[in-house]
Structure formats: structure tokens, C-alpha cells
Amino acid sequence: MNTGAGLSCLQSCCESVPVTQAAPPPIPPSVGQTRISPPEPGPRAKRFSLRRAGLWPFSSPGRDGGALFAVPATPHSSLAKESLVAGLKARIEALERHASSPALRALAPDASGSPAASPPWTLGAPEIDAHLAGGLDAASLHEVKPAGGARDAVAGATAGAAAGDWAAALGFALRLAVRRATALRSRSAAPAPILWCWPSRFARELGLPCGQGLAALGLDPAACLFVETKRASEALWAMEEGLKSASLALVVGVMKEAELTPARRLSLAAAGSLTPCLLVTDPRTSGAGSTATRWRIGAHPSAPHPFEADAPGARRYAATLERCRNGALLAQALSLPLEWSDETHRFRVAPALADRADEPRRARRGA
């Protein structure tokens, strides 16, 4: 058999038979629809990164190079797009700045599209509230440390806080919770719950809160949720999940310290849900990062009772404001004696010479 002749015959047959390929059907144009924006130029890696960030709203281009995602054409589509982009930019800027500016939080819309606002969280003392730029930031992380942690020159170690200083720090945190609950109660009849998280070691050493004491302080015991965990990491997780729920009035945590990453996560969760977070930590540890304010609270002698000299008067705290992100810059920490009023549920600056007010009168009468 002649192989060369067979191949030449097969080649001639293939050349004589025309080969046709069906062309793809044309894509009909979208009737009454318009693209949100033209396709994004640039490499595919750039579009992939934008899609991962949630800024690229299109899944993939069509055969004609256009976007598959389209919306009905309306005369106000461009205005709606501009308002949507402006809202997203405002929310991103607020998250990057830890929502430190109340004006940015007012511009950032929530899921329903309406501006989300949080009531002011003040201490009640005009001198301190003015320094805090109107009060405590209701969408940030705040730290409270007991007084102590001083370096012992003889032993060369850091001394811990006394039991009275721990009690003062916890009492200060509880009174801040009263101020927060009071601010929210003025806007809503149903009180939002307050979440209190701490490891079991602190619960055994410091004692559990009493329901009668919380009620006398101004807190509803039924609106307080106490979470006792085995490890501090579990308490931090419970605090973060409570903040993300956006259904709490305040989240309080008591633990030895919060490292940079957990503190950062708590700060972002507080900014995203517009819920404040209080963190009471050991004075021997360094301050937590991403905090709006840091307080150093110690016990302070109270004034005599106005109707009985032998009885203690209003509760006082030796408060030192070590850090204030939104307030004015100071050359040194601001230290003031604060006094709590059980009648008005607010702080006030205790007068330094309140106990000696009658001494000049008695001296003049004796003369």
C-alpha cells in the first residue's frame, strides 16, 4: 500500500470540505438599565484586592467587557451613588480613627440608613467634662487602674495596689456605669443590660457584687449580667462578643492586663457598635493600647457627714487622668479629688478646704 498517496488523498478531501464554526449569539443590550460605573481599568490583581475589601461591587465582566451588575435607570441614580459613597467613606474614616470624633459618627449611617447617635456620657462635673471635650467617648475603650504600682527602692520590685485602692477603682467603674445607665434611661424606658466579665480568680479575691448594693448605688440588678470565666482570654472574648451585639449599655472587664491585640479588637468593636467599654486592670502592668482615656483611682478620705460629725460623708476618690485622646494636651496628669453624690448620681470636684470652712469663724469668735 502506498502511504504517501493515501495521505495526499486525505489532505485533498479535507481541503475540499468547508469547516464552519457557529458564532456565539449576540448579547442583547439591557433595556432600561444602566451601569453604576464603567469597568475598573488596571490589572486583575487590583480588581481582586478591591473585591476582597468590599469596594468592587461587580463579580466579573461580561463578554462585551461590561459589568454584569446593573440597576434600573432613574433620574436620581447619580445622587444616590454619591450619597452612598460619601457614607461609606465616612464610616471607613471613623473606624480608622477609632470613632474619636462625634461629628464623624453622626455622619456615618447605620444599617437602616439613618444616622446613629449615642447619648453623651459625662461625669457630671463641668470642670472634668470640659477637659474631656464634652464627656467620655461613648464608642471607645476606657481603662481604670487602681492607685499603686509604685517602685519600691529597697526591694527593687513593683508594689501592688492595696485592697482599698482596688475597691475604689471598682467603685469608680460602677459609678461610671450608673452615669451611663442614667443617660440611656432618659431616652428609652427599657434599660439596656450591662455586661460585667472577669476571671474567677478576681471574683474570689475581690468578692461578688451584691444585688442590694447595686440597687442602692442606682443600678438595676436585673439589668446586670455577670460572666465569670476560667481564663482572661475567655473574658476578653465574651467582652468582644457583647460589644458586637450592639444591645448593651456598657461592657466592663476586670483582669490583670489586656495586650495590644485584644485591646485593639475591643476598641474596634466598641467603635462599630457605639457601645463603651471599661477595662479595670492591675496597676503593675502597662497601660492598654487603643484607649480613649486612662484613669488612676485611689481611696480618698471622705468629708464628715453634714448631720453627724462622726459618720462618713459622701464617697470621694483620688482621681488622676493619665491619658485623654480627645481632650486638651497637658504638661502633666490631671489629679483631682472627686466626690460622688448619691442623690443626684453625679460626680463633683471635692473642695480642698471643705473640712476647714468653720475654723476661721471659730477663730474670730474666740478673738
For every residue of 140-162, DSSP letters joined together read SEEEEEES--PBPTTT-SB----
**Cα–Cα distance measured from residue 146 to residue 161, given in angstroms and rounded to the nearest whole number:** 6
User: Can you give the pLDDT at residue 42?
Assistant: 53
Of the candidate ranges 41-45, 106-110, 290-294, 337-341, the one whose mean pLDDT is the lowest: 106-110
- As a whole number, mean pLDDT of residues 275-302 equals 92
Helix (H) or strand (E) holding 335: strand 334-341
- As a whole number, mean pLDDT of residues 175-198 equals 87
How many other C-beta atoms lie within 10 A of the C-beta of residue 227? Answer: 14
Query: 280 φ, ψ to 5°?
Result: -100, 115
* Residues of the chain above pLDDT 90, percent: 38
Of 301, 281, 327, 280, the closest CA to residue 177 belongs to: 280
- The answer to whether 182 touches 174, Cβ cutoff 8 Å, is no
**Cα–Cα distance measured from residue 176 to residue 166, given in angstroms and rounded to the nearest whole number:** 15
**Confidence grade of residue 133 (pLDDT, cut at 50, 70, 90):** confident
Laid out side by side, the sheet with 224-229 consists of: 224-229, 194-199, 250-254, 277-280, 141-146, 291-300, 316-324, 334-341, 346-349
User: Can you give the pLDDT at residue 86?
Assistant: 84
Q: How far is CA 3 from CA 9, 13, 211, 324, in A?
A: 10, 16, 104, 94
Helix (H) or strand (E) holding 195: strand 194-199
User: Can you give the pLDDT at residue 168?
Assistant: 93
For every residue of 231-297, DSSP letters joined together read SHHHHHHHHHHHHHTT--SEEEEE-S---HHHHHHHHHHHHHHT--EEEE--TTSPPPSSEEEEEEE
Query: 328 φ, ψ to 5°?
Result: -75, 150
Average pLDDT, the chain: 75
Residue 57 clears pLDDT 70, i.e. is over it: no
Residue 209 clears pLDDT 90, i.e. is over it: no
Helix axes 260-273, 232-244, angle to 10 degrees: 20
pLDDT tens readout for residues 333-351: 788 899 999 889 999 998 8
What is the Cα 29 distance to its own chain's centre?
48
**Confidence grade of residue 280 (pLDDT, cut at 50, 70, 90):** very high
∠ CA 38-41-45, nearest 5°, is 125
User: Can you give the pLDDT at residue 292?
Assistant: 93
**Cα–Cα distance measured from residue 72 to residue 279, given in angstroms and rounded to the nearest whole number:** 50
How many other C-beta atoms lie within 10 A of the C-beta of residue 71? Answer: 12
- The answer to whether 277 touches 239, Cβ cutoff 8 Å, is yes
User: Can you give the pLDDT at residue 161?
Assistant: 66
**Cα–Cα distance measured from residue 48 to residue 43, given in angstroms and rounded to the nearest whole number:** 9
Higher pLDDT: 186 or 74? It is 186
Assign residue 301 a region (left: φ > 0; alpha: ψ between -120 and 50; beta: otherwise): beta
User: Can you give the pLDDT at residue 22?
Assistant: 56
- The answer to whether 259 touches 240, Cβ cutoff 8 Å, is no
**Cα–Cα distance measured from residue 242 to residue 139, given in angstroms and rounded to the nearest whole number:** 14
Q: Is the overall model pTM greater than 0.85, yes or no?
A: no
- As a whole number, mean pLDDT of residues 172-190 equals 86
User: Can you give the pLDDT at residue 154?
Assistant: 39
pLDDT tens readout for residues 216-274: 999 999 999 999 999 999 999 999 999 999 999 999 999 999 999 999 999 999 999 99
Q: How many residues does the chain have?
A: 367
Q: Which range, 108-112, 306-310, 333-337, has the best average confidence (pLDDT)?
A: 333-337
User: Can you give the pLDDT at residue 37?
Assistant: 47
